[in-house]
């Protein structure tokens, strides 16, 4: 069938519209903006606006790349320290979520079949309540004159209030609290499909339940562990709201640095450079996540 189609009939035909509309949408709102921050990160502030990268004053284009923002990031120890501490807090959050979430998902997958939809809904329900309000609630709990301290003091457990707010502890509480469901859901999806006959076979062959867990259950749930860990690790690296409300100034997080560069210092190239380095940091875990998803789809 070699019918000759005009450009407009082809444009209006279903397939091209179905593909073209989302393509245009994402190119405009996802791809172009990333290219623009890449461009702005390579310029510098001139007064209140950003310098032009391409200069036409001599009649031909002259490209000026300005690496000063990147030089600053890599020479100033505060930026490096902030990146490292963001990675540290993100790793710690991932680890704690895994330690709490794995047994939870395992027990949930082993609970009676008729209970499981309800248990699952109870995990998802907090999602529907504003994330911001839940973080605010932790603030009311953890403050020096907050609810936890008041309860502990009235019970006589402590004499003076514990300093919990604006410490790494309050930051970790907020992050683990917010991202724990992202760890539990993929792990549960994976563990609930686990073939119990492997474990029965292992038990018949005399393997202890503990050994069977490490040798069979854990390796078989690798895909769930990877998916859950990446879903926690990637967003926590750039988190802004939780460190701002619960972390205080002593906990360094790169999302807050970006925000302050933009809103307080009005330094667009610096904010863009911070963002570009953050994207590079996320690319590796993102690639791991995509690979594990593609493998899971193949099965």
Please identify which residue in 9, 11, 12, 23 interacts with other proteins, judged by CB under 8 A: 23
Q: Is 109 in the site for other proteins (CB under 8 A)?
A: no
70 binds other proteins (CB under 8 A): no
| Least distance between other proteins and beta carbon 6 (Å) | 19
**Per CB under 8 A, 218 contacts other proteins:** no
Binding other proteins (rule: CB under 8 A), the pick from 186, 224, 228, 238 is 238
258 part of the interface to other proteins, by CB under 8 A = yes
* 54: contact with other proteins by CB under 8 A: no
Task: Map residues 124-163 to x or -, x wherever contact with other proteins holds by CB under 8 A.
Answer: -xxxxxxxxxx-xxxxxx-x-xxx-xx-------------
Q: Does 194 bind other proteins (CB under 8 A)?
A: no
Nearer to other proteins, 29 or 63 (CB): 29
Q: Count residues near other proteins (CB under 8 A).
A: 78
Spell out the SS3 assignment of the chain. CCCCCCHHHHHHCHHHHHHHHHHHHHHHHHHHHHHHHHHHHCCCEECCEECCCEECCCCCCEECCCCHHHHHHHHCHHHHHHHHHHHHHHHHHHHHHHHHHHHHHHHHHHCCCCCHHHHHHHHHHHHHCCHHHHHHHHHHHHCCCCHHHHHHHHCCCCCCCCCCCCCHHHHHHHHHHHHHHHHHHHHHHHHCCCCHHHHHHHHHCCCCHHHHHHHHHHHHCHHHHHHHHHHHHHHHHCCCHHHHHHHCCCCCCHHHHHHHHHHCCCCHHHHHHHHHHHHHHHHHHHHHHHHHHHHHHHC
Of 53, 119, 152, 162, the one binding other proteins (CB under 8 A) is: 119
Name the minimum Å distance from CB 292 to other proteins: 13
The one among 186, 228, 247, 255 contacting other proteins by CB under 8 A: 255
């Amino acid at each position: 069938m070699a019918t000759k189609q005009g450009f407009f009939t082809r444009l209006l035909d279903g397939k091209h519209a179905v593909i073209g509309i989302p393509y245009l949408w994402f190119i405009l709102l996802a791809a172009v903006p990333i290219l623009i921050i890449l461009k702005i990160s390579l310029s510098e502030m001139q007064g209140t606006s950003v310098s032009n990268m391409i200069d036409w004053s001599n009649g031909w284009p002259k490209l000026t790349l300005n690496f000063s923002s990147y030089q600053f990031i890599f020479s100033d120890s505060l930026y490096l320290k902030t990146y490292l501490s963001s990675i540290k807090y993100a790793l710690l959050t991932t680890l704690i979520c895994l330690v709490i979430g794995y047994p939870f998902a395992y027990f949930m997958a082993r609970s009676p079949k008729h209970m499981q939809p309800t248990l699952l809904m109870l995990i998802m329900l907090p999602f529907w309540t504003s994330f911001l309000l839940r973080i605010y609630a932790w603030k009311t709990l953890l403050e020096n004159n907050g609810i936890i301290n008041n309860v502990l003091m009235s019970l006589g457990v402590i004499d003076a209030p514990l300093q919990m707010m604006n410490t790494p502890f309050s930051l970790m509480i907020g992050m683990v609290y917010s991202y724990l469901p992202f760890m539990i859901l993929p792990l549960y999806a994976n563990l609930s499909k686990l073939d119990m006959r492997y474990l029965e076979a292992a038990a018949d062959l005399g393997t202890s339940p503990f050994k069977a867990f490490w040798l069979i259950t854990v390796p078989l749930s690798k895909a769930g562990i990877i998916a859950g860990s990446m879903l926690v690790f990637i967003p926590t690296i750039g988190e802004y709201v939780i460190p701002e409300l619960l972390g205080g100034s002593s906990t360094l997080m790169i999302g807050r640095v970006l925000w302050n560069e933009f809103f307080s210092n009005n330094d667009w190239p610096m904010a863009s450079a911070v963002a570009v380095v953050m994207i590079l940091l996320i690319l590796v875990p993102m690639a791991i996540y995509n690979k594990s998803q593609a493998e899971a789809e193949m099965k």
